[in-house]
Structures are given as C-alpha cells and as structure tokens.
Amino acid sequence: MALDFISPHIPLSLIAGLTFYPALFGTLRRQRWVRDFLPPKADQQKYYHLCNKMVASTHSTIMTITGIYLLSTVDWTKNDISTYKTQITPFLVGLELGYLTQDTVFEFYQRAAFGVGSNLILFHHVAVILGSAYYLYALTLTNPGPYFIGMLSLMNMSTPILHFRWALQSKGRTFFNSRLKRFVDTALLVTYFWCRIFGNWWMGYAIGAKLGVAWYEAPWLIGKKFTITTTTMFFMNVVWWAILAKQWVKSVRVFYFSKEPSSSSSPAAKVLLKKKE
C-alpha cells in the first residue's frame, strides 16, 4: 500500500495524471505531424483543441483497458461487489481525477486565450472532480467499490470515437458528405449507449442479482454515496445520448433521404447544390 499511496487518500496515479498528461500535451504541440494533420488554414485554437483531444483519447484508452482488466480478473461470485479491496480501484480514480483536473485548467486557459469553451463540459468536469475527490478522501481505505469504478471506467470507451470524428470533421467538407461519417456517427451512438447507459443499468442489475432484488431496487440498498453518483451520471449520459441521437437522425435523413434540388429550384437551392458538389 505504501508504494501506491503518498498519503492514505492520495494515490500516485493522481500525481501521474497531473504530470504525464500536461507533458504529453506539450510534446504533441511540438510535433510537425500533428500540425500537418489539420488543413493549412487551421488557426492556433484548432491545433490546441486537436492536442487536447489526443490527450483525452489516450487517457480514455488507459481507463478502458484497465477497467476491463479489473472487471474480468475478479471473481464476483466470491467477492463482494462494493467492498472487495484492490489496488486498481484507487489507481483508476486517481488517474481520472488527475486528468480531469488538468483538463479543467486547460478549459479555463482555452477560454482566456481563444474566447471559446463549453459550459456543459466544464460543469461535467467539476462534478466528476468533486465526486472523485470525495471518493479518495472518504472511501479509499474502507469501501473502494471496485465493481462500480470498473464499470464507470468503461464509460471512457466512446471518447476516442468522439474525438476521432472531430478530427475527421476538421479535415474539411469531404467527410461531412461521406458514408464514413454516417458509419462513425453510428459507431459513436451505439458505443455511447452501450458503455454509458446500458453499463449504468447493468450495475443495478448486477447488484440486484447479488442481493436477490430487482435491478430498480438495488440503488436504494447500496448506500447514498453510490446511488447519487450512478443516478447523476446516468441522467447526464441520457441527455448527451439524446443529443447525439438527434444529430444522427438528422444526418442520416439528410444524406440518404433528401432529394437533390432540381434545375428549376430557387437560387438558394442552386447554391446549396453547388456547394454539395
């Protein structure tokens, strides 16, 4: 335990997240191939955003792989879902807290330097930071909840697809008018639903099966600290998924079912047709 914690509530992964990810960001910003990826006319904010998304995808991949390892290596028929102790659990929470803290700082920097930013993303980051900090302070030594942390870590699975889509969109209009965009959008929609909504429901199902109750009764039997976290995450993810689903329906409808403007169409329609070609 002493090798993995600086103090009873501060895992080394927290320090690693606060140092590794900013260092990775700085390294990416100096790489020529990163600049060459975007169109020549891309501004500094685009380069900044691309590097930030590459860091986010790296973090999400680490969290997903480690979460899968945690969930697949523990025999949950013999070990309690919410109290089984493992070193991987505080590692995941510390790394997530370290990443989100530095990413929140970057979000404020982006607002100051470029005048852009997302209030929804900022709210999400602050909420998860507070939840992770509370976890490390209050639960690390007494109730690590590895099954919950493992399942929550899998929510990162959709993030690389989301950022890959952004990177392709940044390449230009060709991607917007391609079947590849519809494929990537569909992959994102399905993956997001599976890892962030179905996965959240599955936690309730697994707990219910362990306790011999229905899945919708389980949240009331596992303590407020888990119920509040999972319920809040669930509703936030449903809202995000609904936005993605609305965008997906519109994209598919326009691409596959909209008719081409005829030659006798209005001038505006002709301009639209010319741009599409």
Residues 26-84 pLDDT 10s: 999 999 999 888 888 888 888 999 999 999 999 999 999 999 999 888 887 777 776 67
Taking 90 as the threshold, does the pLDDT of residue 22 lie above it? yes
Q: What is the DSSP letter of 5?
A: E
pLDDT of residue 11: 82
At 112 the pLDDT is: 87
* Residues with Cβ within 8 Å of residue 189, at least 6 apart in sequence: 241, 244, 245, 248
**Model confidence at 126, in pLDDT bands (50, 70, 90)?**
confident
Q: Which has more pLDDT, 137 or 271?
A: 137
pTM: 0.81
Length of the chain: 277
Tell me the C-alpha distance between 273 and 41, whole Å.
Answer: 25
What's the start-to-end Cα distance of the chain, in Å? 62
Give the residue with greater pLDDT, 244 vs 223. 244
Residue ranges with strand state E in 187-259: none
| Cβ atoms 39, 171 nearer than 8 A | yes
Q: Which residues contact 199 (CB under 8 A, 6 or more apart)?
A: 151, 154, 155
pLDDT digits (tens, 9 = 90+) for 163-212: 999 988 887 666 778 888 899 999 999 999 999 999 888 888 887 887 78
